[in-house]
Amino acid sequence: MNNFLQHLECSRCGETFPHIVPQNLCHSCGKPLFARYALDQLTDTWKPKQLQSRPNTLWRYRELLPISNDKHIVSLGETLTPLIHAKRLGAQFGLQQLWIKDESRLPTGSFKARGLAMAVSKAKELGIKKLAIPSAGNAATALSVYAASAGIPAFIFMPKDTPTYNIETCQLVGANVTLIDGLISDAGKSVAERKTDEGWFDVSTLKEPYRVEGKKTMGFELAEQFGWKLPDVIVYPTGGGTGIVGMWKGFAELEAIGWIGKKRPRFISVQAEGCAPIVKAWNEGKTHAEPWQNAHTIASGLRVPQAIGDFLILEAIRESGGTAVAVTDDAIKEAMQMLPSTEGILTCPEGAATVAALEELVGNGTIKSSDQVVLFNTGGYQS
Ligand SMILES: *Cc1c(COP(=O)(O)O)cnc(C)c1O
């Protein structure tokens, strides 16, 4: 049992809502809701030492996860992902402390498993009967498998040029797949238009409050793997930005319960040149991002023209002293060979984008040779 979840709170206006019924966005201002916990009750009672005897999965951070009763947890074995010291790749950029957080080891081969394990568990707890999702690919696969495992029907909307792996895996586990002539934003519109009539619960990232809770465990793992001292830099391939938003939230929670200090990694958000709304907003000094027109890139997970959490991503980048950069598809393709050939780590285009960004980041002094740097390889290679 876990009684630390208190309520949901709007990330923008602060209004609070009960967590015991399904919720999407803030009823007042339409922005994402965040799970809030009784952190003061955890401060003296929960210690890092207690983790040692727990299973090597993200569920070891149970006290700061939003599921009330363990019997509702839907798990496919969300293993802690390795943090690999990339010595040979680092040497090529003059970095002695370059690390890869290899998220490809998670169920379905991408870190989307973290968020959807959490969202589907919570949906089961709340008795939700049908789940719908717009996706650029990996979220669809992750929702489909967790929904299948929970026995909840899933309705998937994704662009018709989504990677075959994602389309086929959804179909294999029996999800209802609709292919859209458009982008993830168009898929989102289809879900929004039909959900009331169909009785679907919308699991779009950050429109649903618990996927971000799953993604924040990336930050918990990093903190634990580095001995509760955070690295200097996190380089993160950004689509909807749930990972950055989640890790930022998670670090604040760890500080509040006294497990880490004030230091935060500088968040460097990497996008593709063909779809870089966050980079554009960052360069223009804006607090919100304009929708990106004609989005295109081989990194389908980065093909997100508009992120509902744009202001939260930009805030985390700004407050952490980070930045945002765009890379070309050609540079991504090159990096898809460079990472495996130097480190033996196979990567998806999104993970490769972080490697592709290194040359510029080291070249212009954003990353210094003494920095401890973590690249997120957010998924594995799929042909
Ligand atoms: C979804 C996805 C991303 C983007 O993640 P966000 O946290 O939504 O920005 C990056 N890489 C892969 C492989 C993805 O599937």
The residue behind tokens 């930050």 is: 219
On whether residue 12 sits in a domain, the answer given is yes
Are both 100 and 247 inside the same structural domain?
A: yes
Q: Identify the pLDDT of residue 383.
A: 83
Q: Are residues 183 and 319 part of one domain?
A: no
Contact status, residue 354 vs residue 347, Cβ threshold 8 Å: no
Answer with the one of 202, 221, 241 that is the final residue of a domain: 202
Cβ–Cβ < 8 Å for 47, 72: no
Pocket test for ligand 1, best of 81, 165, 378 (most atoms within 8 A of CB): 378
Residues 310 and 325 in one domain: yes
Same domain? For 334 and 294 the reply is: yes
Position 300 scores a pLDDT of: 95
CA of residue 244 to ligand 1 center, whole Å: 10
Please indicate, yes or no, if residue 73 is contained in any of the structural domains.
no
- Which of these, 58, 45, 67, lies nearest to 123 by C-alpha position? 67
Q: Which atom of ligand 1 is nearest to the CA of 103?
A: 13
State the closest ligand 1 atom to the C-alpha of 136, by its place in the atom list counted from 1: 1
Nearest CA to ligand 1 atom 5: 239
The CATH number of residue 279's host domain is: 3.40.50.1100
Structure tokens at 267: 């968040």
At residue 1, the pLDDT reads: 61
Task: Give domain status of residue 70, yes or no.
Answer: no
Question: Domain check: are 27 and 103 in the same one?
Answer: no
Measured CA to CA, the distance from residue 234 to residue 244 in angstroms comes to 9
Contacts of 142 (CB under 8 A, 6+ apart): 107, 108, 110, 112, 113, 115, 116, 117
Do residue 103 and residue 240 come from a single domain? yes
Question: Would residue 76 count as lying in a domain?
Answer: no
Task: Give the total residue count for the chain.
Answer: 383
167 is a domain residue: yes
Residues 252 and 293 in one domain: yes
Residue nearest to atom 2 of ligand 1 (CA): 301
**Rg of the chain over all Cα atoms, to the nearest angstrom:** 19
Of 180, 202, 224, the position where a domain reaches its end is 202
CA of 301 to the centre of ligand 1 (A): 5
Question: Quick one: 230 and 92 in the same domain?
Answer: yes
Q: Residue 358: what pLDDT?
A: 98
> Structure pTM?
0.98
Question: What pLDDT is attached to residue 3?
Answer: 84
Range of the domain at 156: 112-202
Asked if the structure places residue 66 within a domain, the reply is no
Same domain for 161 and 283? no
- What lines the ligand 1 site, CB under 6 Å? 110, 112, 138, 205, 237-243, 301, 348, 350, 378-379
Q: And the tokens for 59?
A: 């569920």
Identify the residue whose C-alpha is closest to ligand 1 atom 4. Answer: 239
Domain tally for the chain? 3
For a substitution probing ligand 1, which of 302, 345, 355 has the most ligand atoms within 8 Å of its CB? 302
Average pLDDT, consecutive stretches of 10 residues, N- to C-terminus, the chain (383 residues): 90 98 98 98 95 97 97 98 98 98 98 98 98 96 98 97 96 98 94 97 97 98 98 98 98 98 98 98 98 96 96 98 98 98 98 98 98 98 90
Pair of tokens at residue 67: 């599921």
pLDDT at 149: 98
DSSP string, 2-62: ---EEEEEETTT--EE-SSS---S-TTT-PPEEEEE-HHHHHTT--GGGGGGS-SBGGGGG
Distance 112 CA to ligand 1 centre (A): 7
Whether residue 284 contacts residue 8, with contact meaning beta carbons closer than 8 Å, is answered with no
**Residue 305 pLDDT:** 96
Question: In a mutational test of the pocket of ligand 1, which residue from 81, 112, 275, 354 has the highest number of ligand atoms less than 8 Å from its CB?
Answer: 112
Question: Same domain, yes or no, for 285 and 359?
Answer: yes
Asked if residue 143 is part of any domain, the answer here is yes
Residue 251 belongs to some domain of the structure: yes
Q: Do 45 and 178 sit in the same domain of this protein? A: no
One domain for residues 218 and 181: no
* Token output for 121: 């568990």
